[in-house]
């Protein structure tokens, strides 16, 4: 029986930058404590929201070290290690020190557009090489191909693949995974806006962008769903619904960094090719925050 410790509210941590585009270590520490103090259940390091493609190897290690040190064993940690060169991913895994790292989040290979057999072979090779459990990340809107439900369920049989982060937005597909998966395999929402419905259908957690900023209401909603307080969870779901849309209106993590800057967690700075949100979106986010901040 596989054991998955990644349940509830996971936070895909942003990488804060100073105005000179260098990593803001103090802001990163502040963010880690903010999400832990407000109810997060696990941390996700170097996911898409971290702008990992724009970080050097040394910067990635700085981010990892800072988060692990500040976390100080308080919450489980998942590390993003993925790519479209299977052997390169395996070499990265072999070179990584997994002290205090509890799992890997690995995305479906992008650009190459592998078929279902190729995706399955890719993830099985990664899972065979990894000393820690693997969470598969399906996000067809970013990578160009979709990990189908049947392939996901096949991968769920692997003893070292414990969950899928499902960000396809396809409820039919996600329900098929939930229906057919083994009992010891979990489905994590990859879309903040549909997390509550997915929890109602049988998902056990989320890897959230929103929870970087409004961790408390988001984690409150998750706990309410877990404990069967569905009316309370639904109230919070609808309270956050518009903000969940706004933070993605001009791309991720542009929206969440805009909000985090407004509430004093970090500077509103991204690295190219990403840029900050438009002035209209910024004003909409600030206005919506007035409605959400006391939830």
> What is the per-residue DSSP string for 215-269?
HHHHHHHHHHHHTT-HHHHHHHHHHHHHHHHHTTTT-TTHHHHHHHHHTTSS-S-
User: Over pLDDT 90: what percentage of the chain?
Assistant: 98
Q: What is the pLDDT of residues 56-79, one digit of tens each?
A: 999 999 999 999 999 999 999 999
Task: List, in sequence order, every residue forming a beta bridge with 17; answer none if it has no partner.
Answer: 23
Write out pLDDT tens, residues 97-111.
Answer: 999 999 999 999 999
- Residue reference for tokens 């407000």: 38
Residue 75: how many other CB atoms lie within 10 Å: 20
Q: Nearest 5°: CA angle at 216, between 48 and 47?
A: 10
Element (H, E) at 44: strand 42-45
Q: Residues 56, 81: contact at Cβ < 8 Å?
A: no
- The answer on pLDDT for 35 being more than 90 is yes
Neighbours of 115 (CB within 10 A): 9
Beta strands in 96-185 (DSSP E): 103-107, 134-138, 161-166
pLDDT in the model for residue 282: 98
What does the mean pLDDT of the chain come to? 98
Cα–Cα distance, 199 to 195 (Å, whole number): 6
Please say if 280 is a catalytic residue. no
Helix axis angle for 25-37 and 57-71, nearest 10°, is 40
Contacts of 43 (CB under 8 A, 6+ apart): 10, 11, 13, 32, 35, 36, 67, 71, 75, 76, 77, 78
Whole-structure pTM over 0.95, yes or no? yes
Residue 214 bears catalytic tag: no
Q: How many helices (H) and strands (E) does the chain have?
A: 12, 8
Would the pLDDT of 293 be above 90?
no
Report how far residue 126's alpha carbon sits from residue 122's, in angstroms, rounded to the nearest whole number.
6
Give SS3 for 208. strand
**What pLDDT does 1 receive?**
80
Task: State CA 47 to chain mean position distance.
Answer: 6
Q: How does pLDDT run across 228-283, given as a tens digit for each residue?
A: 999 999 999 999 999 999 999 999 999 999 999 999 999 999 999 999 999 999 99
Active-site residue identified among 60, 165, 181, 282: 165
Q: Nearest to residue 161, comparing CAs of 203, 131, 132, 133?
A: 133
Report pLDDT for 236.
Answer: 98
Nearest to 182 by CA among 143, 208, 212, 155: 155
Higher pLDDT, 1 or 171: 171
Q: What is the pLDDT of residues 204-217, one digit of tens each?
A: 999 999 999 999 99
Query: Of 7, 60, 137, 282, which one is the catalytic site residue?
Result: 137
Residue 133: count of CB within 10 angstroms of its CB: 20
Residue 3 has pLDDT above 90, yes or no: no
Residue 88: pLDDT band with limits 50, 70, 90:
very high
Residue 294 has pLDDT above 90, yes or no: no
295: pLDDT confidence band, cut at 50, 70 and 90? confident
């Amino acid at each position: 029986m596989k054991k998955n410790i990644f349940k509830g509210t996971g936070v895909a941590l942003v990488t804060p930058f100073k105005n000179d585009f260098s990593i803001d270590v103090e802001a990163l520490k502040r963010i880690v404590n903010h999400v832990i103090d407000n109810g997060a259940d696990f941390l996700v390091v170097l996911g898409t929201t971290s702008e990992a493609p724009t970080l050097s190897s040394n910067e990635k290690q700085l981010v990892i070290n800072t988060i692990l040190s500040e976390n100080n064993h308080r919450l489980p940690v998942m590390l993003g290690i993925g790519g479209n060169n299977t052997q390169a991913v395996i070499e990265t895994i072999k070179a990584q020190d997994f002290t205090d790292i509890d799992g890997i989040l690995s995305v479906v290979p992008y650009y190459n557009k592998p078929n279902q057999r190729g995706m399955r072979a890719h993830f099985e090779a990664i899972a065979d090489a990894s000393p820690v459990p693997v969470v598969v990340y399906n996000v067809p809107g970013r990578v160009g191909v979709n990990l189908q439900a049947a392939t996901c369920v096949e991968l769920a049989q692997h003893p070292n693949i414990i969950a899928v982060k499902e960000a396809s937005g396809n409820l039919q597909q996600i329900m098929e995974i939930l229906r057919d998966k083994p009992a010891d395999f979990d489905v994590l929402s990859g879309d903040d806006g549909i997390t509550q419905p997915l929890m109602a259908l049988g998902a056990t957690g989320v890897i959230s962008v929103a929870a970087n900023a409004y961790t408390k209401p988001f984690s409150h909603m998750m706990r309410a769903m877990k404990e069967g307080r569905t009316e309370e969870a639904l109230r919070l779901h609808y309270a956050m619904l518009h903000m969940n849309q706004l933070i993605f209106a001009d791309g991720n993590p542009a929206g969440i960094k805009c909000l985090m800057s407004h509430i004093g967690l970090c500077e509103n700075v991204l690295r190219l090719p990403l840029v900050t949100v438009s002035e209209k979106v910024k004003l909409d986010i600030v206005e919506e925050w007035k409605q959400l901040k006391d939830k």
